[in-house]
Structure 1
Amino acid sequence: MASAYERRKDPEAVRRALLACAALIAGREGLAAVTVAGVSAAAGVTKGALFHHFANKQALVDAMVDGLMQELDVALDTLIAADPVPRGSFTRAYVHAELTMDDDTTRIWSALISSLTAETQLAAQWHAWLTLRLCRHADTDAGELLEIVRLAADGAWFTSLSAGASTRALDLLAIRGRLIAMTF
């Protein structure tokens, strides 16, 4: 194994590792557990290396959230592109993505969502993302019924977090089907 001095430097790989470790810690222990020391140790780098990529913990968390939202954007855009019916396509993609998350993704998003009330910066990031997506899809996804479907999906997902993993998959699949049917 190469020592730190012999390793080929790959700053982008270090940045990705730091973000992945931050998300892993947030998913396991909550957003408050994401610390500079914890993330740098989990990524196997010094705190100085972390600070080379992120000015502070908030910058790390902001970048982690931005990355998660970009992943969500890609998933949504893929689902929208595959949907043959334009009307309600964003809402169907949103419902599908939200109610079919794997357990690791659910834990990470759960940690973020549970922090929205305490973390104003995080709440602002989420609100800005959602507002942008709703404006982008205003022609296909405006209207009370589609808004109610999205809000119901949020509520079903949030409720499932307390129901436990054993019941979540079956319940959410049925709810997802009913909500998607409402969008046509």
Structure 2
Amino acid sequence: MSDKPQARKRQPEYVRQQLLSSAARLAVEKGPASVTVSAVAEAAGVTKGGFFHHFPSKQALVEGLFDEVIRQLDHDIDQFIAVDSLDYGCFSRAYIRTVFLDSHTENSWAVLSFTLGSDTQLTRKWDSWLANRLEQHQHTDSDPQLEVARLASDGLWFSSLLHRVRTTELFPHMEQRLVAMTLTAAG
């Protein structure tokens, strides 16, 4: 048996995900100012050198958070669209349902708010993502009523971040009302 310490298996993707998760958790629980290189590295259980191995700067981490949230949103939206039997408004319904998801959405949308609020380049990236999704679903989701429903869900998301509207009795019924707006064309 060797006297050398056993080397830990490198798991770069796991460490990267830990850094992203730690940054998201800090942003949600303690606010955007708490997301520092030192705090994220400590929360993830890595050194600052480990942090910089995965992200050359805090800005790169913020961009990584944004990309991760968009990847998750795309996944969730596509899952909802796949089981939707009605073409008209399918993207809008999926978008709304994603806003109201309980499992991860509050954190995802809070992280999205943090990243968008910190960088106009990311705001442009969000605008581009949304424009691409709307272009992809132009034949099903171009009705102005659908845009109103999506914007209302955005407003509820933002309000929930500021005022904790999710705890009111009204919030659970809003998803049903917004989805109902997407079921028939405005007449």
For the aligned pair, the TM-score class normalised by the smaller chain equals 0.7 to 0.9
CA deviation vs aligned residue, 1:16-60 (integer Å, no higher than 9, x gap): 111111111111122232111111111111111111111111111
One-letter code aligned to 1:141:
D
Mapping of residues 93-172 of structure 1, within 5 Å: 93-102=94-103, 105-113=105-113, 116-161=116-161, 162-167=163-168, 170-172=169-171
Matched residues in 1 for 2:166 and 2:6: separation?
Answer: 44
Q: State the partner residue of 1:179.
A: 178
Q: State the partner residue of 1:38.
A: 39
CA RMSD of aligned residues (A): 2.0
Mapping of residues 5-24 of structure 1, within 5 Å: 6-24=7-25
Matched residues in 1 for 2:127 and 2:70: separation?
Answer: 11
Secondary structure of 2:38's partner? helix
Superposition misfits of 4+ residues, deviation over 3 angstroms: 114-118
When the two structures are superposed, what TM-score results if normalisation uses the length of structure 1?
Answer: 0.87
Q: Taking structure 1 as reference, are residues 47 and 117 closer, same or farther at Cα in structure 2, changes over 3 Å only?
A: closer
Secondary structure of 2:76's partner? helix
Task: Tell me how many residue pairs correspond in the alignment.
Answer: 178
Matched residues in 1 for 2:155 and 2:132: separation?
Answer: 21
Matched residues in 1 for 2:25 and 2:159: separation?
Answer: 22
Listed as ranges, the gaps of 5+ residues in structure 2 are none
Q: CA deviation at 1:166?
A: 2.8
Listed as ranges, the gaps of 5+ residues in structure 1 are none
Kept in 1, the 8 Å contact 2:27–2:114? The answer is no
One-letter code aligned to 2:182:
T
Percentage identity across aligned positions?
43
Matched residues in 2 for 1:14 and 1:163: separation?
Answer: 32
Of structures 1 and 2, the one with the larger relative CO (CA 8 A, separation 6+) is 1
Q: Which has the larger Rg? A: 2
Matched residues in 1 for 2:12 and 2:118: separation?
Answer: 32
- 2:61 paired with 1:48: no
Q: CA deviation at 1:164?
A: 4.6
Matched residues in 2 for 1:115 and 1:17: separation?
Answer: 18
